[in-house]
Structure 1
Amino acid sequence: MTQNDPGNDYPLSEVPMHARKGLMSTAMVLLGFTFFTATMFAGGKLGVAFSFSEMLAVIALGNLLLGMYAAGLGYIAFKSGLNSVLMGRFCFGELGSKLSDLILGFTQIGWYAWGTATAAVVLGKYLQLSDDTVLGLMVLFGLMFCATAYVGYRGLEILSYIAVPAMMLLLMLSMWVATLKIGGLDALLAVVPSTHLDWSTAITLVFGTFVSGATQATNWTRFSRSAKVAVLASLIGFFLGNGLMVLIGAYGAIVYQQPDVVEVLLLQGFAMAAMAMLLLNIWSTQDNTIYNFAVAGCNLLRTRRRKTVTLAGAVIGTLLALLGMYDMLVPYLILLGTVIPPIGGVIMADFFYRYRGHYPRLADTRLPAFNWAGLAAYGVGTVAAFGSPWVAPLVGIGAAALTYVALTCVLGTRTSSAALPDL
């Protein structure tokens, strides 16, 4: 199998220009990724803590920051043709990058276990199925959800073209019915908050819910045909797409005291639509999630057999779902939402400062086993995020980037300017 095998989506090399995609394709794949039920729970907490107008401002600011972060990494992905785990070889070293592979890969397998279990449990409750049947559904869904990821980018794209418009129509219908139920826009504006959240905590909730996904969105923005496509697709996916999920959760909490759109659709009398939403919503994120795992796994093992790693990841995720890991996932994901963003901070500092905006071709570059400046900067960013009373992911990104620049200056490892190779 050659390094440029398109069927495996170039897991260990740059994406060549002839394989690049346009805005519609890239944006649809990213929307399929960010249209995720779990994000709505963050919106549910905002919906009962702020007035409607203030809540909209929090959602807009938090998701704008998230979109800008994704767009920054997306621009690097377009310029280099690489994803975050391959970029990690430059900023962490040939062996040091395996740390980011493990962190990013295991994050995604945790999400996959949660999504697989959630789909089976919710469907089981709705159809009043036995526990054994629910376990059987977990196995079925665990294998089914990876089918489009097994195909590769093209499989994700096809599913997104089906799922995203269908989910968008259902979401708009649900919001319209909810607005009518509460008494119109004036009634929404008059809602009095029942709890309190400060802005810092609220922005942390919005930004932190999907920052781990934004760090790995380079798996698809590296397929962008231009810088404009990469940046706009990132903003569409993470500012608009993730923002809509948070808003839907807030709507449900205000009107129905329930942030989960599936439960809201059931309360609104759309039972079949609710089950369709559940499967489309989770599947369109699950395939992206297991694709992320496969890409990280390929870099960790230095193998181009992405399809094999995809299947292995689906089996591991399914086993974790059967073992009940999804019950312990919330604190686990909060932890990972703190330790993942500094990776993006180091990558951006490495690309824009050390490499002056142009990576050399990966295959032609001899990299050290460990880039200690990158590893130390990541450690500083993670510690700063854990100890921050403010927006922890942002603090982690900023601290990691600034530390990397400082260490690069001290160590004198900044490169000379190099021309971007033709991809």
Structure 2
Amino acid sequence: MSTEEDRLDDYALTRVPDEARVSWVSVAVQRFGQVSSFQQFLVGAVLGFGMDFKDAVIAITIGSVMLEIITILLGIAGVREGLSVSVLARWSGFGRKGSALVGMLIALSLAGWFGVQNGVFAQGMHDLAGGTPEWVWAIIGGAIITAITLYGFTIMAWTAYLTVPAFLFLAGYSIVDVLSDHSISALMSSAPPGPAMSLAEGTTLVSGAFILGALMTPDMTRFNRRPSDVVKQTLISVTLGEYLIGLTAVLLAHAAKSSDIVGIITSSSGVLGTLVLATAILKINDWNLYSSSLGLVNSIDVLFGRRVSRRAVTLIIGVAGTALSAVGIVDNFTDFLETIGVLAPPVAGVIIAEYFLVRRFRAELDQARERGTLPEGGADWMPLSLICWACGSLVGKYVDGGIPAINSVVTALVLYAVVGKLVVARRTPPIKEPRPPMVEVNMTKSGG
């Protein structure tokens, strides 16, 4: 059963109990805040710079459908078990020690992106305010995000209720201002202003931009009440986020004949454009920090046998990320973060394959869920998951055909499902048919 300490720590290492679950709208607003982030503006602008509107629609559609499938499956696992993705990984293919690697991957990746986006926020506010140095804005932005994340899911939900509508209103007003001198129909039929981008490249861009967000889906959906909530919020938030923000950015790139979405919005709209930038980053960066802290808490628990406070970990990561963004060092990590990003997609493939197909630990998970506890058993290491993880990463990195992020997920999923099924079948003893009962025959002759 959960304790007061678990509640204050946002159930970082335990199941989210029924009484802590919330309406699907509350989670959907936060999910939409992620998908309609400033990153989607960047992706859409790059698409618009190299593709016409029709091809951009196709690229966004293919990428979105693939992301929605992965997001829904991981989200359903999260809502059923009430566990963060790094804790869920203990019984979803990776084992205890393997889940620590998953937790560290998520922690490192998202903590890095927290710092990078905080740096973008500082740059935008400096360009607006002029005299105030960037490092001051970095400290201000990092402190605000860290304070929000310290209080966990509930305060983050209220932040999304405020920032998502503000972002949509400010972005809508700014976009109308930019596009007011252009014919929308002409922009939709115009040729791309930059070097041509293939459909495969465009789809890869869409899928790769949100794959890490898809992986951390259970961190969010563990607060949902039922699997149908996950389906509804994913279809609405991913579809609207990808199409509304992505296709708008495509039109902006065609109108400005540039992929520099920051310059397009801030230069034409001044204060308004900078506020768009600020609200866009604010409503996603708290989740970067939140999931990063959950991943690190799990890793410390597994590797050192110590339960540490999620809030303390959040504070440490927030201060470190803020400091790095303030001194500008974090900008040098972008290439590194993109490199380790190839490790994220196959993790999703392994978890989906184990949880829904191989189901080696589903009985233990089901029994423990009835008790409101965690399973007592489980392996420390599962070599198969590490092999599939490595194969998926290599395919995503070096195979040119298709979409790298999706290739990576599918490779890990199929390999783990096939081999995992064979291993489970070999280890499961055949069911023996019961022998018929022995019938004792009386051989004594009767007199006559």
TM-score w.r.t. the length of structure 2 is 0.86
Contact 2:136 2:326 in 1 (8 A): no
Measured in 2, the distance between the counterparts of 1:189 and 1:415 equals: 60
- 2:359 is aligned with 1:355: yes
Seq. identity, %:
23
| Equivalence for 1:225 | 225
1:405 paired with 2:417, answer yes
- The residue that corresponds to 2:316 in the other structure is 312
Alignment of 1:109 with 2:111, yes or no, is: yes
2:17 maps to: 16
Q: CA deviation at 1:297?
A: 1.2
Q: CA deviation at 1:271?
A: 2.4
Which residue of the other structure, out of 105, 110, 121, is the alignment partner of 1:119? 121
Cα distance 1:193–1:271, how it changes in 2: closer, same or farther (>3 A)? closer
Counterpart in 2 of 1:322?
A: 326
How far, CA to CA, are the matches of 2:309 and 2:248 in structure 1?
39
Q: Which residue is equivalent to 1:373?
A: 384
Cα 1:242–1:150 shift into 2, 3 Å? farther
CA RMSD between the two structures: 2.3
Query: Which of 333, 341, 344 does residue 345 from structure 2 map onto?
Result: 341
* Partners of 1:113 and 1:326 within 8 A in 2: yes
Given that residues 26 and 224 in structure 1 are in contact (C-alpha distance below 8 angstroms), is that contact kept between their aligned partners in structure 2?
A: yes
Partner of residue 92 from structure 1, selected from 94, 100, 103: 94
1:14-413 equivalence runs, <5 A: 14-90=15-91, 91-129=93-131, 133-259=133-259, 262-268=262-268, 270-302=269-301, 303-355=307-359, 359-360=365-366, 361=368, 363-389=374-400, 390-412=402-424
Q: CA deviation at 1:414?
A: 9.0
Mapped partners of 1:164, 1:57: distance in 2:
26
CA contact (8 A) 1:8 1:304 kept: no
> Displacement, 1:39?
2.9
Letter of the 1:233 partner, please give it: Q
Q: CA-to-partner distance for each residue in 1:272-322, whole Å, 9 max, x for gaps? A: 322322221111111111001111011011225111111011012112213
Contact 2:53 2:250 in 1 (8 A): no
CA gap of 1:95–1:283, structure 2 versus 1, over 3 A, is same
* Cα offset, 1:30, TM superposition: 0.9
Note closer, same or farther for the CA distance 1:48–1:278 as it changes in structure 2 (3 Å cut): closer
Structure 1 residue 259: Cα displacement: 4.3
* TM-score for both structures, normalised by structure 1: 0.91
Q: In structure 2, do the counterparts of structure 1 residues 34 and 147 end up closer, same or farther at CA, with 3 Å as the change threshold?
A: farther
Distance (Å, rounded) in 2 between the aligned partners of 1:333 and 1:413: 39
CA distance in 1, matches of 2:193, 2:258: 15
Retained in 1: the 8 A contact 2:389–2:412? yes
- How far does residue 208 in structure 1 lie from its aligned partner after superposition? 0.3
Q: Select between 254-263 and 147-156 the one with higher mean Cα deviation.
A: 254-263
- What is the distance in 2 between the residues matched to 1:217 and 1:97? 16
SS in structure 2 at match of 1:94: helix
Is contact 1:8-1:307 (8 Å) kept?
yes
Q: Which segment drifts farther, 315-324 or 366-375?
A: 315-324
Distance in 2 (alpha carbons) for counterparts of 1:292 and 1:375:
22
In the alignment, the residues of structure 2 paired with residue 329 and residue 44 of structure 1 have an alpha-carbon distance, to the nearest angstrom, of 23
Shift of 1:78: 1.1
Task: Measure the CA separation in 1 of the matches of 2:185 and 2:102.
Answer: 46
Deviates more, 1:99-108 or 1:118-127: 118-127
**SS in structure 2 at match of 1:95:** helix
**Aligned partners of 2:219 and 2:289: how far apart in 1?**
12
| Unpaired runs of at least 5, structure 2 | 302-306, 429-448
Number of residues paired by the alignment?
413
Unaligned runs of 5+ in 1: 417-423
Structure-2 change in CA distance of 1:271 and 1:192 (3 Å): closer
Counterpart of 1:124 in structure 2: which amino acid? H
